Amino acid sequence: MIISPWDLLTSDIMRYPLIIAVLIGLTAPIVGTYLVQKRLSLLGDGLGHVALTGVAVGWLVGAWISATPVDLLAIPGALIASILGAVVIEIVRELSHTSRDVALAILFYGGIAGGVVIIQLAGGGSQNLMGYLFGSLSTVTGSDLVITIVLALIVMAVGLALGKVLFTVTADEEFARASGLPVRAMNILIAIIAALTVTLAMRIVGALMVSALMIVPVAAAQSLVVGFSRTMRTAMVIAVLCSLGGLILTAYVDLPPGGVIVLLTIGVYVLGQIARPVIQARRRRQAAA
């Protein structure tokens, strides 16, 4: 029997993943807009790698204290590791250009290598990391939902309420500094909300693809609309629609949700690129009129 999309949306099994998908769709592009503006599009990727070490450490601690389930502390572990990683990355970014590239690469690879090694020490195997690497629906629990809602509210509160300051800092750091704004604190804040987003999105989208949901909707939006806040809002709409669409699709076809969601956002980006000349020609006509 094929169930209708409405029955699917209201079913108990899908309720948690769908709420999480909407929250990911709302939060990831907020952070992504600031990261794209700062030319730090790959920061989310790096934090995803570092979060894996956190998952493994959480698993190890869970095994020591005989937690049930054993991965009870995986997401809190990812949260702590990615926040620490974010702060370290921001400090390294302030170092000279020559050393920071290599330092960041070491942090990224160290993150994934640490994850693989520590999960083994915890009595698990790298297959236990698969759900975190590529995302999974079956692993979403009630406590995950609570953590996700709290993190999403923090990201939205910071990313939207401080929008003007964060835009000023990301648009022109020197000007912001000359204006007397706390540039360093704001940069660390952006890195921290990026870490929170990575943690809240990794259950469904996976640590390896979470960055795509931050960046690709923003890239798609900036070819469709004009204005910083309009780009952010449009990216949020694209990401919510792609997250929901991807999740509903995977309920009918047995495919990994993370991959499907990311492919949908890339599809929107490609459509945006195709439509771009038409949109720009219309804009020029309006400006000339």
**Separation CA 60–CA 129 (nearest Å):** 13
222 binds other proteins (CB under 8 A): yes
Rounded least distance, CB 229 to other proteins, Å: 7
285 binds other proteins (CB under 8 A): no
| Residue 11 to residues 4, 6, 22, 213, 260, Cα–Cα distance (Å) | 11, 9, 16, 25, 21
Number of Cβ within 10 Å of residue 84's Cβ equals 14
Residue 206 region by backbone torsions, left for phi larger than 0, else alpha for psi between -120 and 50, else beta: left
Tokens of 3: 């169930």
178 binds other proteins (CB under 8 A): yes
- Single-letter amino acid, residue 250: T
Out of 160, 162, 188, 249, the only residue in the binding site for other proteins (CB under 8 A) is: 162
Under rule CB under 8 A, how many of the chain's residues touch other proteins? 32
When computed from its CA atoms, the radius of gyration of the chain, rounded to whole angstroms, is: 20
Footprint of other proteins on 228-267 (CB under 8 A): 228-229, 231
170 binds other proteins (CB under 8 A): yes
Stretch that binds other proteins, among 17-25, 99-107, 179-187, 202-210 (CB under 8 A): 179-187
36 binds other proteins (CB under 8 A): yes
Tokens of 141: 């629990």
- Single-letter amino acid, residue 105: A
Looking at the Cβ atoms of 175 and 252, the one nearer to other proteins is 175
Footprint of other proteins on 104-123 (CB under 8 A): none
Rounded least distance, CB 25 to other proteins, Å: 19
Rounded least distance, CB 230 to other proteins, Å: 9
- Classify 259 as helix, strand or coil: helix
Stretch that binds other proteins, among 1-9, 79-87, 147-155, 162-170 (CB under 8 A): 162-170
What dihedral angle (degrees, nearest 10) is formed by the CA atoms of 262, 267, 271, 274? 100
Q: Contact at 8 Å (CB) between 218 and 52? A: no
Stretch that binds other proteins, among 19-27, 58-66, 168-176, 245-253 (CB under 8 A): 168-176
Out of 2, 12, 180, 253, the only residue in the binding site for other proteins (CB under 8 A) is: 180
226 binds other proteins (CB under 8 A): yes
Out of 2, 4, 39, 94, the only residue in the binding site for other proteins (CB under 8 A) is: 39
Tokens of 279: 């949109």
**Which positions ≥6 away from 39 have C-beta within 8 Å?**
none
**Separation CA 215–CA 211 (nearest Å):** 6
Rounded least distance, CB 223 to other proteins, Å: 9
- The residues that touch other proteins, with contacts defined as CB under 8 A, are 33, 36-39, 96, 162, 164-165, 167-168, 170-172, 174-182, 218, 222, 225-229, 231, 287
